[in-house]
Structure 1
Amino acid sequence: MKRKVLLFTTLLLTTFVFQGMNSARKNRTKVIAHRGAWKNTGVPQNSLASLQHAIRLGCYGSEFDVHMSADSVLVINHDHTIQGVALETTPAAQLAAIKLSNGEALPTLEAYLNAGKKQKQTRLILEIKASQVSKERSLALAEKCVEMVRKTKTRALVDYISFDYDVCKKVKELDPKAQVAYLNGDKTPEQLAADGFYGLDYHHSIYKKNENWIKEAQQKGLTLNVWTVNDQPLMEWFLERNVDFITTDQPELLLEITKAQ
């Protein structure tokens, strides 16, 4: 009789543990605002205002894109040009005169990081944009980004991402403890794990074509981020697969869905 009671108690406890683990797993997916929270707020992408909106929403992270000016100043913008001006071949003084639609100046990386470090809840997801001029400039940009993160004392808040694998490896070389994820989608979880990466950060179509990579990455302890997911059915598909992060232009919608789970 005692043995039966003990067996029943053990089974009951095991059930509760697994239920708890599954519940935690389902609710662990975090929201990253793509270029900040801009789509539903009316502020420019990659602006200090879009960062502040992402922070106010309670997003886990706010993603932004970094380029290097002709005289090696780091500035934030998605495209390689803004208002017809090429970022890489234009000096910083000229870029500083450019105004965004809300009246902000084109942000520098230093200004963005200094604004972001005034809080502790929202991570700063720094995308290093590969140079259109040369590989050397891409690697120089990676080095300057790591230097600026150190200068602003924001290492504890910053994750790095890039489409350029050499850039990702350069960041790891400069700061072995940095959390670095690769964007391009052409490397297996095994390759990323071997090179010491933090995780995969692939377009949703890549995961759809290689669904086995999701479990493989999880088994190897790699994080899974997916971009750019803006409709609810696709959000729910990835939530069911327990990805770590979803990057979206609709953080408000995704936050609402995750909170309801």
Structure 2
Amino acid sequence: MHTARIVCHRGASMAAPENTLASLEGAISMGAYAVEFDIRTSKDEVLYVMHDETVDRTTNGKGRFADLTSAEIDALDAGSWFGPEFAGQMVPRLDVFLAACKGRIATYAEIKTADPARVRDMLAAHGLLADAWTFSFDQSIRAETRARVPDFRRMVLFEHVGSVERATALGAHILEFQADTLTAERVAEAKAAGLVTQVFYGGSDRTVFENAVRSQVEQMNIDDVELFRSVEAEMLSPAS
């Protein structure tokens, strides 16, 4: 059995404010394989790394992201809400975030509101496209990605497609499971079909991590990296 590759969900989000350069640096410092981040577009068409539809939760501002200009977004403090030591962290522009990733970490770009072709081209410009992959909860964005940028590796959720066969029919590269859809049989079937297997889990329940290790999932898209590595080490040690 091999250790799983770590995908840091919104960066090292338990140690630094999510979707910031600080959380990216934290992910790199802990040796993560990839960083997961979210992409939104400002009122004046600038791409940013931001999860929520509004800036209220993770910045000192208020309002819908899509209603704010880049000048307004650039003036926000995206770190103080997490801790005073992160005061002054900005909402990263996507090009700045990707420049910080280049040569250091792979990228998983979840598109909230953005043109997938623009995202793909920006990744390519930074030399990141070969190891990058994308997903969106917006069905129209998923369809547009398939149609317009077929060289942009795509992930699908098992809960959306319902079977490995459907995932391969859609031309997916990565199949992501959640705690309630993960089984060793499905993981084995996906691997046999040439798909990369991944689990998303934002919690800290050891039993979920134990099931992932037993199922031999290849990638873990998680927040609690320290607990997962501890569980994994215990289960893979010769004494176990």
What TM-score results when the alignment is normalised by the length of structure 1? 0.77
Matches of 2:210 and 2:68, distance apart in 1? 43
Matched-pair contact (CA < 8 Å) for 2:197–2:217: yes
Q: CA deviation at 1:185?
A: 2.0
Describe the superposition over 1:123-168 as per-residue Cα deviations: whole angstroms up to 9, x where unpaired: 1111111x4xxxxxxxx52122112112323213422122234423
* Counterpart in the other structure of 1:77: 50
Corresponding residue for residue 172 of structure 2: 197
Q: Give, in whole Å, the separation in 2 of the partners of 1:164 and 1:182.
A: 12
Secondary structure class of the residue paired with 2:181: helix
8 A contact 2:117–2:149 mirrored in 1:
no
1:243 to 190, 199, 217: 217
Identity %: 26
- Is the Cα–Cα contact under 8 Å of residues 165 and 182 in structure 1 kept in the other structure? no
**Partner Cα distance (1:194, 1:108) in 2:** 34
Residue identity matched to 1:110:
D
- Distance change (3 Å), C-alpha of 1:44 and 1:217: same
- Map 1:4-15 → 2, pairs under 5 A: none
Question: Partner letter of residue 98 of structure 2?
Answer: L
1:188-231 deviation per Cα after TM superposition (whole angstroms, max 9, x unaligned): 221220121102123222336xx753333222111221111532
- Give yes or no for contact 1:163–1:184 (8 Å, CA) kept in 2: no
The structure number with the bigger radius of gyration is 1
Distance 1:165 1:222, change over 3 A: farther
Q: Answer whether contact 1:69 1:90 (CA < 8 A) is retained.
A: yes
Taking structure 1 as reference, are residues 28 and 178 closer, same or farther at Cα in structure 2, changes over 3 Å only? farther
Q: Shift of the alpha carbon at 1:116?
A: 0.5
2-side partners of 1:149 and 1:127: how far apart? 13
The Cα RMSD (Å) is: 2.1
Which of 86, 97, 100 matches 1:115?
100
Number of the residue aligned with 1:63: 36
Quick one: which of 80, 93, 111 aligns to 1:128?
Answer: 111
State the distance in 2 between where 1:58 and 1:32 align. Answer: 10
Q: How many residues are matched?
A: 221
Deviates more, 1:213-222 or 1:77-86: 213-222
The Cα of 1:28 is off from its aligned counterpart by 4.1
Q: Cα gap change, 1:81/1:251 in structure 2, threshold over 3 Å: closer, same or farther?
A: same
Counterpart secondary structure, 1:75: strand
Distance 1:156 1:220 in 2: 20
**Residue ranges of structure 1 left out of the alignment (5+ in a row):** 1-25, 132-139
Amino acid of the structure 2 residue aligned with 1:202: F
TM-score after normalising by structure 2: 0.83
Q: Which amino acid aligns with 1:239?
A: V
CA distance in 1 between counterparts of 2:131 and 2:195 reads: 19
Asked whether the 8 Å contact 1:95–1:106 carries over to 2, the reply is: yes
Structure having the larger proportion of residues in helix? 1
Contact 1:164–1:184 (8 Å) recurs in 2: no
Superposed, which structure 2 residues align to 1:44-193 within 5 Å?
44-83=17-56, 84-101=62-79, 102=86, 103-119=88-104, 122-129=105-112, 131=113, 141-183=115-157, 185-187=159-161, 188-193=163-168
Q: Distance in 1 between matches of 2:39 and 2:189?
A: 31
In the alignment, is the contact (CA less than 8 A) between 1:217 and 1:224 conserved in 2?
yes
For the residues of structure 1 that align with 2:137 and 2:157, how far apart are their CA atoms? Answer: 5
Asked if 1 retains the 8 angstrom alpha-carbon contact of 2:19 and 2:91, the reply is no
- Is this contact kept in 1: 2:156–2:174, CA < 8 A? yes
